[in-house]
Amino acid sequence: MDELLDNPLATIAEAIRTKKTTSLAVTRGFLDRIDMVNPALNALVYSTAEQALKLAEKADLALKNQEPPGKLHGVPITIKDSLDTKDAITTWGTLGRKDFRPGRDATCVARLRDAGAIIMGKTNTPEFTMSFQTSNLVYGTTKNPFDTQRTSGGSSGGAAALIAANATPMDIGTDTGGSIRLPCHFCGIAGIKPTTGRVPCTGNALPSSGLYAPLTQPGPMARYVDDLRFILDIIQGPDNVDPHCVPGATYECDDVKTMRIAYHLDNGICTPTDSITSTLASIVDFMKREGFTLSEARPTGLEMAGLIFPRVIGADGEVLKALLEDSRTDTVSPNLKPSIGHTRQEPSAAEIAQTINLWHNYQSSMLGFFDDFDLLICPVNARTAHKHDEHEDLNAYTYTSAYNLTGWPGAVIRAGQDELNLPIGVQIIAAPFREDRCLTMAKWLETNLSTFAPPPVYAGRQELEAQT
């Protein structure tokens, strides 16, 4: 059983569907893993274990009765606590919702359940997802499985930490400024932020209305690139609720070696650490030796990301005020206080109009990049996982937020490690609705790069399993 749980989602689902194992056995296996690693991580913050086991038994009975299975029939998963779940408390990381049950699922959650998935519990998120560290006043701080003195990233840090420890096969993150890609980089897993409008945001903590709603996208996080494609196919498409979600075109990627690939090791805003730069440089050299054609280039206008992103966030201060009021939250998490303080400056109508104009011009300028290139390879962040509450240089996060502003898809996989054995990710960016190119390139790299050691928390779990 332990060997099966280390496999991609499709393999686990097929084993259940063909009755080589049972949903109950798989669910018990992952719940046991959660019990072993979660005390060190604080990644799973609300367990639905008892209900999950009952649903697993029902899934096995359905197969026995020859009921048609879905793509994820009987597969246990976890869900980020910013996404509503009808049968489990969903706090959005805010005290006013610490006992709140939404009574309905977020659209992407409903689609996973319709495909047969079983939810084992909710993973931690900062308040309203508005931080690059995963900590809140409801559940506390999530720790990085490679070093529990360090952050797992935010805002999908609970999901990333649990996946890295291989205690859940997948989760759904949400990404407004890097909240899928950053935790993947910090924790050494795979993830993708889809194109703006590919996946509905309905039922997420940040609403699908307001000025910066188009920044946010739910997306899959997992250990394998194949899992990202598998999940994205299930959760994508309009739900006739999210006004930004559109019928996205679906493409089949060309031969990966015929694609025009650009790369940069420095975005001109914040220079990465030497270990990140050298890791990505070695990937570029390796790809050239393998016959790829790569050109060093940056999209025109990229240098404006650090100016525009905080202005867009600050221009719609009513969103956070409304969320606090609707949630009946009186005490705000320390991570959220700077955002609340900034929004009190109340930008004028002229300033908001100027921000929208800057943003749209930035999008237009950046799009011309795809006249010459099919893919962009670059860092995910300027540094690896830092210690909890350590000072953050927000310019380091422009490697992700730049592409929330454009709405382009971006995948991340592990590419190496630094001198402290902390993971280093590589980011693969493509034109709107060309997730196929991101994932095909990510799969090629995953297949051809060296494998990496699992986190110490994972190794400790293996030792405990061996003893039992």
* Tokens read off for 40: 């060190």
Identity at 273, one-letter amino acid code? T
Is 179 a known active-site residue? yes
Catalytic residue among 71, 80, 122, 193: 80
Phi-psi category of residue 421: left, alpha or beta, with phi > 0 → left and psi -120 to 50 → alpha: left
- Using DSSP's 3-state secondary structure scheme, residue 260 falls into coil
Catalytic residue among 82, 131, 135, 155: 155
Among 117, 63, 62, smallest CA distance to 227 is for 117
Please, what's the b/e burial string for 198-219 (b: 16 or more CB within 10 A of its CB; e: otherwise)? bbbbbbbbbbbeebbbbbbbbb
Calpha distance 182→402 (Å, rounded): 13
User: Do strands 261-263 and 375-379 pair parallel, antiparallel, or not at all (unpaired)?
Assistant: parallel
E strands present in 88-197: 118-123, 135-136, 140-141, 143-144, 147-151, 170-175, 190-193
Among 409, 416, 403, 408, smallest CA distance to 446 is for 416
Catalytic residue among 82, 179, 339, 401: 179
Calpha distance 276→265 (Å, rounded): 8
Instruction: For residue 184, give Cα distances in angstroms to 193, 213, 222.
Output: 11, 22, 9
Residues whose CB falls within 8 Å of the CB of residue 241, separated by 6 or more in sequence, listed in order? 107, 200, 202, 208
Is 20 a known active-site residue? no
Among 441, 9, 447, 457, smallest CA distance to 192 is for 441
Q: Is 252 exposed, middle or buried (0-12, 13-18, 19+ CB in 10 A)?
A: exposed
* Tokens read off for 344: 């009190």
* Tokens read off for 404: 């929330």
77 with 171: CB under 8 angstroms?
Answer: yes
Is 365 a known active-site residue? no
Beta partners for residue 144, in sequence order: 147
User: Known catalytic residues?
Assistant: 80, 155, 179
